[in-house]
Amino acid sequence: MTTSSIQKAMLMLLAIGFAISGAAIGQTKTPKMMPYTTVDHPEFVPASRASFLSDNDVVIGVSSGGVTKAYPGADLAQHGVVQDQMPDGPIAVTW
């Protein structure tokens, strides 16, 4: 194979690569982000009744004045902020 034919083959592969990546980019749409809706009055259940959570789920725990609460990471990811009350006053939990 001559240098010229190698260069032509490389250019063809490069052009094919651009065509494929351009098609993939054209088909990839950024998912539409939904606006966050804060949770202003969260409801809690005892840990023994939290069957909707698994051992691997991420939670953010807050403890104050003898009160302990857990906020599931999935809820925070969906809503952005949970506004709640603790014995010391209002809190905002975010991820």
Q: Could you list the residue range(s) of the whole structural domain that residue 23 is in?
A: 1-31
Please report whether residue 68 resides in a domain. Answer: yes
Q: Which residues pair with 83 in a beta bridge?
A: 92
Ranges of the chain with pLDDT below 50: 18-21, 23-24
pLDDT reported for residue 95: 81
* Beta carbons of 58 and 15 less than 8 angstroms apart: no
Q: Are residues 82 and 51 in the same domain?
A: yes
- Residue 74 backbone dihedrals phi, psi, to 5 degrees: -65, -40
Please report whether residue 37 resides in a domain. Answer: no
pLDDT reported for residue 2: 64
Q: Are residues 53 and 87 in the same domain?
A: yes
pTM of the model: 0.61
Amino acid occupying residue 32: K
Count of structural domains, the chain? 2
Q: Are residues 52 and 82 in the same domain?
A: yes
Q: Are residues 82 and 53 in the same domain?
A: yes
